[in-house]
Structure 1
Amino acid sequence: MSDTTQVLTINRLGARGDGIADTPEGPIYVSYALPGEVVRVSIPAPDPHTGRAARSSTGRAEARATLIAIETPSAQRQTPECALYTRCGGCTTQHMEETTYREWKRESVVTALTRAGINTPVDALIDAHGTGRRRVTFHGRRKNDEDAIGFMAARTHALVPVDHCPVLDPDLARAPQVALDLAKLLLPKGKPLDIQVTATDAGLDVDIRGHGPAGEALRRILTGAAERLDLARLSLHGDRIVERHAATIAMGRGRVTPPPGGFLQSTALGEETLARLVMEACAAASTRIRRTADLFAGCGPFALRLAEIAEVHAVESGAAALAALDRAFRAAPGLRRITTEERDLFRRPLLPMELNQYDAVVFDPPRAGAEAQSHEIAKSKVPLVIAVSCDVGTFARDAKILIEGGYTPQRITPVDQFRHSSHVETVGVFTRAEIKKRRR
């Protein structure tokens, strides 16, 4: 069976920014299409063995079409800013004009909450792109004896070579060339590479994954390359090869040197915005905040700011991140005490008897959310809980747990630091209402 060509009318936008055509046979997803547009598409034939539609990256069957032409464009369509758009899989919404984009991204939070049974107002989307993303990961590949670095095409493992990316911070302007120069030293070994480049106060910080351990000869070669490329730090699988300058990031009054490859908010303005919302919630609390817990604390983007007003207990599973936080705290002036605890909060969340000593709890988990920890918070007496999340689905799940445990949402704010993507950060502020009597 061969692919078929159809003309469709796009009715709505999906959660990932796809245009969706509602047909008698079910929804058909079309990337880069907008509501109201009439488009000509190619629809893949069903699997010849099963007769079923192709499966998405999530494993679910879905009808997905490839855009061939736009017969009737939407007034909400704009010209993409990047020449690689639709080829590179990094951005998915450069064709949306600003108002449509902002409404769609905010609505993704509203929809997730509604599906979880939560009916509460959601603030307008805050633009936190700032000067651009301060961290990027390039993929390095060798094909036909040629070395290349770039991003992956959408829904494939095909490499799209990149020498410029408009969503990156200007401090990363030379990052593609740096990544390619380093890849040329390592790709002859035959292994594909992931090259993470971060803009720090002292210059570029690079961590390379995929090669394996470096012997003494390679370490000397990479040290020379770091000197030639004027890198602040160069690491291989988190193993520091050379640190020519302290690869610091300013966080409040602290200056943190994150561990190689360690987590960092995507944009500087994104981190500042999330922290500002956390601090505003503490300032608006009905009682004075004296002691706080920062769960999934990382290397301290919230803890180092919270310590300006209260004592902080930072809990994180990564020892290297906690060590970076502790060093920054000890060198920062005028902060209240920060204590740290290495602990896997997925397997061993803080219990109510531990939580009850705090006036406020902040948690910012990975994409999987904080389900186990949310259940324990819901059983606690903490008066103020601030949830920060990079995934609207797990945020809604965790928020529902808190609400069912007696918390009331005071403010839900979506924050956009991942411009031109479907990702959105969400900050939720919850206060303790009267504890409901639970049925036995």
Structure 2
Amino acid sequence: MPEHAPEPASEPAPEPAVHVFAGPTIPSDRIRRLLPAAHVHPPVQHGDLLRLAPRPGDTVAVVDGTFFQSPSVRHKELLHLIDRGVTVHGASSMGALRAAELAPLGMRGAGVVYRLYALGVLERDDEVAVAHATGDDGFVALSDALVSIRFAARRARVAGALDRAAERLIVEAAAAMPFPQRRHATAARAARRLGLIAAHEDAYLEHAARTADIKRADAELLLRIIARESGPITAGVGRATSGADPADPPTVFLAEWLRSFRGELVDGEHVTDEAVLTCCKLFATDYADFHREHVLNALDPATLQRAGVPAGLRATPESAAALVRGFCWAPGVPPDDLMLELLRATPAWECAQGIVVRALRLNRELSRLGYPVSRVSSLRLHTYFTERWGTEQLDGAILDRGFASRYAFTTLAAPFLPLALLKTVEPFALRASGR
């Protein structure tokens, strides 16, 4: 009997990656000293985790995050990672806050600040807020967090340098300040106006200068915990209390965020899936037919029968239009992910990416000249596409091309109008499969 041919050796699975999002709390060189293999990122903001797209078994540690100059990381973004087998930790700052909020759903917290939020001792978001420099200057903190002032005052009292009244005055003075103005020295000076004596001011400042910052200590604790952990993480173990399945359709918000942030680098520009899909919806001559065909193919016979389509027959134009215009995978979630998957297999994908790159660069140039996309006229936009699509019923044409509403169409199409008007966009076809 002939021997079986040996199976080809499979490629070894990539090592789990560790991603750390930090800035003013702990410098990147210190992170790499504690976790040499870590991928260090700036403070996390809305969309960063979806753009990152870590694999099951990876670890994400959130220390710092933005909330003032840009939208903060959403809870659903963190839960999306946990549901897909990513271990998500938080400590010190934004990480401590989110970990306390999401601990019952699988996010892991570490450190004193996290525990105080989880116990309800700390409630204010601004307890951990600081002003800081930009990434070019290393995200250096330009103020002290209220929680850091609180801990420095408590440690000074425990050491016998302050009494309870002096500790309370310093904390109350700091809490009354806007967070960018909080520093140990300004808090002590403000407390003097509330009755703090000079000897206590000097004692507090001397003690604060010698005391390790509690946020920094918590961040280092978290990194040491991650360094001690070993072994792969089993996909799906993160959220013990959730019955969520990674194959389940996402919520309307998460679906929109995934399309809006995920993408790839094309000629030096980050081109999102949402932008490429929108470009095809707007400028592909056969997109309405492509969309209708694949939505109807995705519908099971029982659904078609309930819509009045007899078994074995294709939908009439009227019933097909109704089915296509109202179809969602889940409440409020259109079949855009299906369309993206199909579009990637067409030659039109690269064509659309090129158009998106041109639109991004033109809009950046126009913005420098004082004409941002926000100034695009909705009336001009609607008139242009009514004429381009050769329709008298714009709302129907919008739905036929997969846009959820006139508002969604207006928002998504606006960045393409300057290019269409000033540079022109040549029509293209999709060559949908099955034709």
TM-score, normalising length: structure 2: 0.21
Higher relative contact order (Cα pairs below 8 Å, separated by 6+ residues):
2
Higher helix share: 2
Higher strand share: 1
